[in-house]
Amino acid sequence: MKKVMGAAVATAALTVMPIAAAFAAVLIDADAKAAGTTGGGGGLQNVPVEFQPWILKADAACPEPEMTPALLASQLFHESGFKTSRREATSWAGAQGPAQFIPGTWAVWGRDEDGNGDNSPWDIGDALMAQGRMMCSLIKDAKSSGYGGDPRALALAGYNAGWGAVEQYRGVPPQSFASGETYDYVQQIMRDIPRFQGPGLLQVTGTGSGPDALRRAAARIGTPYSWGGGTPDGPTTGFCDGLNGYLNGSCSASSTTGFDCSSLVQYAYWPSLKLPRVASEQYGATSHRPVSRSDLKPGDLLFWSHGGAGSIYHVAIYAGDGNVLQAPRTGRNVEVQALTAAMPESDYFGATRP
């Protein structure tokens, strides 16, 4: 984060331009692929997989429609190039981590979001949620300021130079301010938003408990699967039970913050309907309202079994148009998938309407 304390000390106080400038000269797509990216991510592309769920969570926590995952992703790229090491993501002026927070600003916005006991600008989850909170607040300030221009641009200028600079110029500071660094920062991030805009998030229409639950779950598209993870409050780390939760021979669930299939469903309907935690019990709690496959509506629950109600092993939410929203398995993310491809067709057990 570039933080300017005043026009007289603007050049000395810009905290991250040496990092951002170095990446501005690199082709964004090529650099992002080198960082280990994926083409999806629930509305994102060219973003490292470990950043995707936190970007989506930060966006979902902000009620301002101007906030988008691609905006946050573009900003992160220009702040640090998605770098997380202390060598690569420390600016000459002391800004730290992927979102480039200086200590004083971190003290205001930083929290221990990933639950590891350390409130740190170096933790991806902590940093990205702080970035989202600050940007959301700045967007609100921009919209209520009466200043002309795009609220996103005003918010970016405030993140870069401090809101006082935006107030001073009643808009984005001009190129004459701080050698044009704030002006260029805003222009570059706004220009590159489309580079990070992937397939759109699920669009849900209609009202009622089913569509509302689907909307809540859709905000978690891109969140990793974590066996035993997830609560009605959101994603958490999970655990391994001797059979489930492993990836490439190690326990992935214990270090992955996410949902499993039934915790995503529980989260989606909470608190209006407090469903049980596991898939078989969710079937038991809703089986008095069965739904035929030809009459499915958004928000209905679909179940798969190895044989009978006592062997249900998976639950998903009907998303309309023959698709389901689900947390499929270890190594995958919350996704929209065709019903016919979600799980083995022969294991499909039935559907209910909560």
CA distances from 91 to 69, 156, 185 (A): 24, 18, 15
Q: Identify any residues that bridge with 47 across adjacent strands, giving them in sequence order.
A: 38
Which residue in 96, 100, 197, 314 is the catalytic one?
A: 314
Q: Identify any residues that bridge with 37 across adjacent strands, giving them in sequence order.
A: 48
| Whether residue 197 lies in the annotated active site | no
Q: Identify any residues that bridge with 350 across adjacent strands, giving them in sequence order.
A: 303
Contact 152, 75 (CB under 8 A): no
Q: Please report which helix (H) or strand (E) contains residue 18, including its range.
A: helix 17-24
For the chain, report the end-to-end CA distance as a whole number of angstroms: 45
| Whether residue 203 lies in the annotated active site | no
In 3D space, the residue among 232, 262, 231 whose CA is nearest the CA of residue 244 turns out to be 262
Which residue in 197, 261, 266, 282 is the catalytic one?
A: 261
Q: Both tokens of residue 243?
A: 């059979």
Q: Identify any residues that bridge with 320 across adjacent strands, giving them in sequence order.
A: 323
Query: Phi, psi at residue 348, to the nearest 5°?
Result: -60, 125
Q: Identify any residues that bridge with 237 across adjacent strands, giving them in sequence order.
A: 257
| Whether residue 261 lies in the annotated active site | yes
Contact 233, 266 (CB under 8 A): no
CA distances from 131 to 20, 35, 92, 262, 285 (A): 16, 20, 20, 30, 40
- Helix, strand, or coil (residue 352): strand
Q: How far is CA 144 from the centre of its chain?
A: 26
| Residues noted as catalytic | 261, 314, 326
